[in-house]
Amino acid sequence: MKAIGTQILQTERLILRRFVESDAEAMFQNWASSAENLTYVTWDPHSNVEITRNSIRNWVASYTNPNYYKWAICLKEDPKQVIGDISIVAIDENNSSCEIGYVLGKAY
């Protein structure tokens, strides 16, 4: 399987794109600060937007790795408004498959 990294993907309604630091406020408001939204993720709710901003900085730095896959989920009608995230959390090269994890803001 050829590693291509986090590339832009589009559906009829959504754009999946790389995170940018300016996504921090929307991420914090839409899901990162809410325990209810984070029931199935491996990290705790963020107590302030700076924690969210630091997470995004780490993700952005990881985009140089072609085996790193993490997307911001945005509605096509408003691609700057992040409503969730999706990532590949495990890759099975032998079966050409992967496991994904995602989280969406409760409003979506």
Which sequence spans correspond to the domains of the chain? 9-104
Other CB atoms within 10 Å distance of the CB of residue 19: 22
Model confidence over 7-42: pLDDT tens digits? 999 999 999 999 999 999 999 999 999 988 888 888
Instruction: Work out the average pLDDT over 39-60.
Output: 95
- Residues 23 and 100: their CA atoms lie apart, in Å, by 21
**What confidence score (pLDDT) does residue 39 get?**
87
Q: Give percent of the chain above pLDDT 90.
A: 84
Q: How many residues does the chain have?
A: 108
Candidate from 10-14, 27-31, 49-53, 94-98 with smallest mean pLDDT: 94-98
**CATH number belonging to domain 9-104:** 3.40.630.30
Do residues 26 and 81 make contact, with C-beta atoms less than 8 angstroms apart? yes
Do residues 84 and 26 make contact, with C-beta atoms less than 8 angstroms apart? no
